[in-house]
């Protein structure tokens, strides 16, 4: 059977990217921004690795760890800070200062910066800053090279 592209219920999900919410982004819990940002970032990383030719699940999982670990996310945020506008810096500050539970295997400062990075991704996602989001995420390998990951 040949694959035919059809419009179905799932395609509406992609057509309405990003999700529309009935409140200002400032009123969204920053940990929810980080939660959404984590999902968007993880999906982008997997897409990126697939485009690099990694097609086996185990290999993709191992490669993805380099991108998604808290230390890497905190490092990417550090590299991005000089490029951020005031609103983006506010999102970062809110994400960094968010009260939450932290895993025991990572220091709190690194984890907070990783949360701030994810909140920034979530902010770009919710506010439809697609080009800004893509511009940063398309530089992942550049960031990892600088961080020597």
Indicate which residues carry an active-site annotation.
Answer: 38
Half-sphere exposure of 114 (CA within 13 A, CB side): 19
Nearest to 93 by CA among 101, 83, 81, 105: 81
* Biggest CA pair distance of the chain: 53
Domains in the chain, ordered, with CATH?
41-147 (1.10.1520.10)
Nearest to 121 by CA among 35, 47, 60: 35
Q: What is the pLDDT of residues 55-107, one digit of tens each?
A: 999 999 999 999 999 999 999 999 999 999 999 999 999 999 998 777 778 89
| Residue 143 pLDDT greater than 70, yes or no | yes
Cβ atoms within 10 Å of 17's Cβ, excluding its own: 10
Q: Using 50, 70 and 90 to split pLDDT, how confident is the model at 16? A: low
8: three-class secondary structure by DSSP: coil
| Residue 1 pLDDT greater than 50, yes or no | no
CA dist., res. 143 & res. 70, Å (int): 14
| Residue 5 pLDDT greater than 70, yes or no | no
Q: What is the pLDDT of residues 17-67, one digit of tens each?
A: 666 777 787 888 999 999 999 999 999 999 999 999 999 999 999 999 999
Residue in this structure with the two tokens 């991108």, named with its chain if needed: 67
DSSP 31-66: HHHHHHHHHHHHHHHHHHHHHTT--SHHHHHHHHHH
* Structural contact between residues 43 and 68, judged by C-beta atoms closer than 8 angstroms: no
């Amino acid at each position: 059977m040949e694959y035919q592209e059809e419009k179905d219920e799932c395609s509406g999900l992609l057509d309405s990217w990003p999700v529309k919410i009935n409140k200002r982004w400032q009123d969204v819990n920053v940990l929810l921004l980080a939660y959404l940002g984590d999902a968007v970032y993880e999906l982008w990383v997997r897409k990126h690795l697939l485009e690099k030719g990694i097609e086996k699940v185990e290999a993709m999982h191992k490669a993805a760890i380099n991108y998604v670990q808290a230390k890497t996310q905190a490092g990417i945020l550090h590299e991005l800070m000089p490029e951020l506008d005031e609103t983006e810096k506010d999102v970062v500050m809110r994400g960094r200062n968010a009260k939450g539970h932290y895993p025991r295997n990572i220091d709190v400062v690194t984890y907070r910066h990783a949360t701030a990075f994810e909140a920034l991704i979530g902010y770009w996602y919710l506010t439809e800053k697609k080009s800004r989001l893509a511009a940063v995420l398309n530089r992942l390998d550049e960031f990892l090279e600088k961080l020597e990951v």
